[in-house]
Amino acid sequence: MNKPVIGLAVAVAVAAAGYLGMQAYVGQQVDKQVELINQQLIANNEILVNQLEYSKGWGSGELHYDLVYRPAAGNPWHQVLEELLPKPELHWKGTATIDHGPWLPGHGFGLAQLQGDIPLPQILRPWLPQYPGQTPMISYRGESHFDNTLSFTLQAIDYKGSIQDPENKEEAQWEHTGAYFNARLHPVERHLTLLAKLDTLQLDFPSEPVSMMLEGLRMETDSTRLQPYVWIGDATLTLDNLGVMSADNQLSMEALRITSDTVQNGDKLDSTAELSLGPIMMDDMRFGESRLRYSMRNLDIEGYAGLMRTVHRLDDIEDLDQHWASLRPHLERILAGHPQLSMDELSISLGEPHNASASLNVDYHGEGTLDADFAEKIWDDLSIAGQALLSESAIDKLMELVVAQQNAELGSSEQVLMADVLKMQFTLQMQESPFARQADDGYEFDFALRDHMLTAHDEPVMDLATLLAMGEALMPGSSAAISGGVLELSAGFSPDPYVVKVTSGGDDLVDEGYGEGCIGFTNIADANVELFYEAGSFPLIIEASAPTDTALVVIAPDGEVRCNDDRSLYELDPRVIFETPETGFYYIWLTDLDGERSEAEISFTEIMP
C-alpha cells in the first residue's frame, strides 16, 4: 500500500475517532445540562416534575418531559389560569428530538438544539373563532452552547381577528404583531440575559366603545442571581406609544422608559431606578416630560432574601399578625443595616420642561429592634428631608388646570378671573408659609424632620410632639376647631344646624368683580371654612351671625361665586341658599363691610327658612 493511501486512511480514522469522541462528549454534556435543569425545576415549589429524562443517541437524542405548572395563590398567574381553565395549572407532556453538535443547522457551532411549534390549545379555540386553521401559535428554538449557556427563543404568530367569550358572546377585536422572546441562561454562573418585545397591539371593544393601542413595547435585562429572590444587574422597559380611548375620555402617552441597576456592595445591595415619560394627553389637558429617579441603599442581602422567601410562602399577606413571628427577624435585619431611601428627583413639565420638581431622603440609623417601643424610638433614629421647586410658569399652568377641571362650564373670561383669584390665594399662602421662599422664578420649598424637630430652611418650625398632636387633631372624628380647616358634612347631617366659630374680616377687599353682591374685607388666601359636602335630596343653607356688618362669599363646586349681605330688609345677617347643592368643596369667607374683625359664627342647615 503506497504512502498516500496510508495517509488518507489514517486521516479518515482520526476524523472518525474525533467525530465519535465529539458525539460522545456532546451527549454527555447535554445529559449533564438536562440533569441540572431538572434539579432547578424540582427546587421550584410551583413546578411539579413528573418526568424529565434524556436518552442519548448518535447525532441526536430524545427529551421525555412531563411537567405541571401550578402557580401559588398569591401569584397573579394563579387567578388568570383559575378563570380560564378547570384547574389553575398548565400541563406539558411529550417527547422532543434534540440535534447534537458540534455543528447545528441554522446556528453554527454548538452542543445541541431543539426546535418546533406549539399549536393553539383546543381550550382556546372557541375564544378565537377566526384563528387561521392549524397555524402554530408559537415557534420555539432551544440551544445548548459550548460555554454551558442555554438559550431559548419564542416567536408568536401575528394575529388579527375577534376574541369571543363562548358563554355570553361578548366580542372584542384583537390585533398584535412582532411578539418575540429570547433568553440566554448560564445555569452554573446563574447569569441571565433576556429580550422580550411586542411591536404593536390593538384592542377594541365595540359595545363599550373602548379601544387601546400600544406600540414598541420592549424589555431587556442582564442580571445575575446571588441567591433566590436576589438579583444584581440592570433592566430596561420601554414603550413608544400608548393610547386608551372611550366615547367620553382619551389618554395618550409617549416615550415611557423605566431603567434599574442593582449592584452588590459587600453584604448590602444598592439599587437605583429611573422612570421617564414623554408628553401625556388626558382629554384636553397636556403635560410635558416627567421624570422620577429613586434609590435604595444599604439593603441587607440576607435580610431581604429571607423576607422574600417568607412572603412567598404566605397564603394571605394581609394577615400580618398571623405571620409576624416569621417576618420580624428579616425586617429587623434590614433595619439594622441602616437602609437609605431617596427620591432623588421627581420633575413634571407643566407648560415648560421640568418646571416643577421635588426630592426626598429618608435615613434610618437605629438598631432595628421591632419591640413595643419601636413606634416611639423610631423618631430618635429617623431623618427625613425634602426640597421642591415650583416655577412661576408651573404655578400659572397649575391654576389654569385646576380651574379648567373644576369649572369647565364657565366661560373663558370667568376661568381667567377664577385662576387669578386662586393664584392670589396661593401667593398669600406662600408668603405666610415658613416652608416656602420666593426665588428668582417661583418658590423654593424645604423641610427636614430630625432630632425631634421640624425645620424649614434650617430654621425650627415646631417640635415633634406638637407636630404629632396637630396630625392627630386633623384626623377624621377629631374634636379640634374647624375654622381654617376642612369640614366634612353629608346630607342628613346632625346636629342641624351645624355651627362653626370663625373670625370675620381681613385686609383684602372683595367687590362686584368677584360676583354679584360681593362686598367687604377678608383674607382671600385663607377661607374661613372649607366644606366638603356630600349632597343628597336636601337643600344646603349657609348662614352667618356677627356683632358687626358682615357678608358671605361662597365658591361652589361648579366654580360659581355666590354672595349675600343681608337676608332681608329686616335681617341684616347674610345667608346663601343652594336649593340643589352639588357634591364637592365649598369655600366660604365671612367678610366685614367696615374692615373690622369680630368673633362670629357660620352655620349650616338643610331646613329651608
> Across the chain, what does the average pLDDT equal?
83
**pLDDT bracket for residue 15 (50, 70, 90):** very low
Tens of pLDDT, residues 366-410 = 888 888 888 878 888 899 999 999 988 888 888 877 777 666 666
Query: Mean pLDDT across the stretch 469-477?
Result: 47
pLDDT, tens digit, 9 for 90 and up, residues 149-167: 888 899 999 989 888 887 7
Share of the chain above pLDDT 70, in %: 87
Query: For 438, what's the count of Cα atoms within 13 Å in the CB-facing half-sphere?
Result: 7
Can you tell me the mean pLDDT for 254-282? 93
Given a cut of 90, whether residue 524 has pLDDT beyond it is: no
555 pLDDT band (50/70/90 cuts)? confident
Amino acid at 310: T
Flag whether pLDDT at 474 surpasses 50: no
pLDDT of residue 102: 73
pLDDT-derived band at 517, boundaries 50, 70, 90: confident
Using the predicted structure, report yes or no on whether residue 578 has a pLDDT greater than 90: yes
Tell me the pLDDT tens digit for each residue of 339-365: 999 999 999 888 788 888 999 999 999
Average pLDDT on 16-26 reads 54
> How much is the pLDDT for 457?
93
Residue type, 436: A
Per-residue pLDDT at 233: 94
Q: What would the mean pLDDT of 193-200 be, rounded to a whole number?
A: 95
Judge whether residue 264 has pLDDT over 50.
yes
Provide the pLDDT for residue 476: 41
User: Exposed, middle or buried, 599 (CB in 10 Å: 0-12/13-18/19+)?
Assistant: exposed
Average pLDDT over residues 142-152: 81
Q: What does the pLDDT average to over 138-156?
A: 84
Gap between the Cα atoms of 96 and 66, Å rounded:
11
Calpha distance 589→553 (Å, rounded): 5
Q: What is the pLDDT of residues 435-452, one digit of tens each?
A: 999 888 889 999 999 988
HEC secondary structure over 337-394: CCCEEEEEEEEECCCCCCCEEEEEEEEECCCCCCCCCHHHHHHHHEEEEEEEEECHHH
Q: What is the end-to-end Cα distance of the chain in Å, rounded?
A: 130
Q: How far apart are CA 229 and CA 140, in angstroms?
A: 27
On the question of pLDDT at 103 being above 80, the answer is no
0.75 cut: is pTM over it?
no
Lowest mean pLDDT among 7-16, 40-49, 531-540: 7-16
481-609 architecture in CATH? Answer: Sandwich (2.60)
Q: What is the mean pLDDT of residues 547-563?
A: 88
- pLDDT tier for residue 320 given thresholds of 50, 70 and 90: low
> φ, ψ for residue 402 (rounded to 5)?
-60, -45
Rounded Cα distance, 136 and 203, in Å: 22
- The reported pLDDT for the residue numbered 14 is 46
Cα 480 off chain centre by: 35
Residue 260 CA to its chain's centroid (Å): 15
Q: Is the pLDDT of residue 415 over 80?
A: no
Asked whether the beta carbons of 152 and 140 are under 8 A apart, the reply is yes
Better-scored residue on pLDDT, 604 or 140: 604
For 231-292, the three-class secondary structure string (H helix, E strand, C coil) is: EEEEEEEEEEEEEEEECCCEEEEEEEEEEEEEEEECCEEEEEEEEEECCEEECCEEECCEEE
Taking the domains of the chain in order of start, what are their residue ranges? 481-609
Question: Is residue 333 predicted with pLDDT exceeding 80?
Answer: yes
Residue 478 has pLDDT above 60, yes or no: no
Q: Is residue 479 scored above 70 in pLDDT?
A: no
